[in-house]
Amino acid sequence: MKSIKLGLVSLVGAVFCLAAACPSFAADGLTAGAPQSPSSAIWLGFGFKSHVYAGYGGGVWAPNGSLDSDGFQLRGELLYVDYHFNTTLSPTGTASGQLDRANAQVGYQIVRSGIASSLFVGPDYQDFSVSPGSASNSRLSDKVGLIATGRVANIGTPRIPFSVEGNYSTANDTYWAKAKTGMNFGQIAAGPEIAILGNVAFDEARYGMYTSIEVWHGKSVEIDAGYAQRLRGTSGVLGSSPASLYGDVTLVLLNY
């Protein structure tokens, strides 16, 4: 999977370069009819797959007052993951683990021809714990690293929204990337998505669908569901199942 990770690092850098050749939450179909661009966004959600449960939250803020224009932006995220797995290293034959993660980033966005590209960098902290300790994976450890995040998306309310985003952290060689597109029907946008994620101990691919529903001006709910396939790694690395269904529900709040 080294080629995937090298490709992701290249993607994060290329994301920023693409804009110069040619923003943003509106690309997900979340701001139908909005009279102006939001100045900040907050997201809160939870996700699951077999033997894995997660809660997450984050936000991005544009000091210039617009997330859909050129300028500096600040970004932060929190993540909690609880997972369970079978193991012969535990007296009971089972074990559980937790991941606490936090990062803060500063970045810059360029908008050209209705396409926004942004690049962020900052510190990333990861804290792994396993009970009993004898079942822990020796390749994963508590670390502080440098994270880089890139995103390309169309802005406004296009008929065919799209976004490509990803990040890479030197903490446990962690990476994540997702691409999605679809159709915008006004207050509802839906379509396919594909993602890859992993770290020094595992790699996983996800294939699914998303639906984004604007329940009120600036307030939307996104539902993602599909099939998760482990590409590398053994039991105990964020769950026992090599393949399962996955799902996420995310509330997005835009501030105008």
Six-digit token pair at 202? 């595992």
**Angstrom distance (rounded) from CA 153 to CA 221:** 19
Q: Rounded CA gap, 180 and 46, in Å?
A: 19
Burial of 169 (0-12, 13-18, 19+ CB in 10 A): buried
Q: What was the pLDDT predicted at 93?
A: 87
19 band by pLDDT with thresholds 50, 70 and 90: very low
pLDDT of residue 231: 92
Distance of CA 81 to the CA centre of its chain: 14
pLDDT score for 82: 96
Question: Worst-scoring range by mean pLDDT, 14-23, 49-58, 117-126?
Answer: 14-23
3-state secondary structure of 32: coil
Give the pLDDT confidence of 148-193 residue by residue, as tens digits. 999 999 998 899 999 999 999 999 999 999 999 999 999 999 999 9
- Tell me which DSSP letter residue 234 carries: -
* pLDDT (mean) for 139-148: 95
Mean pLDDT of 211-218: 95
pLDDT at position 40: 97
pLDDT at 242: 82
Instruction: Band the pLDDT of 238: cuts 50, 70, 90.
Output: low
pLDDT surpassing 80 at residue 21:
no
Scan for tokens 């449960």, then name that residue: 53
pLDDT at 87: 84
C-alpha distances out from residue 199 to 1, 98, 119, 139, Å: 10, 15, 21, 10
Kindly report the number of other CB atoms within 10 A of residue 243's CB atom.
12
Is 2-255 in CATH node 2.40.160.40? Answer: yes
Average model confidence (pLDDT) across the chain = 87
pLDDT above 60 (res 139): yes
Sequence ranges of the domains in the chain: 2-255
**At residue 32, does pLDDT exceed 70?**
no
Instruction: Dig out the tokens for 144 from the structure.
Output: 């502080």
User: For residue 25, what pLDDT is reported?
Assistant: 46
Average pLDDT over residues 197-221: 95
Please give the C-alpha separations between residue 136 and each of 69, 194, 199, 247, in angstroms, as whole numbers: 45, 30, 15, 26
Q: Model confidence over 69-124: pLDDT tens digits? A: 999 999 999 999 999 988 888 888 889 999 999 999 999 999 999 999 999 999 99
Asked whether the predicted pLDDT for residue 235 surpasses 70, the reply is: no
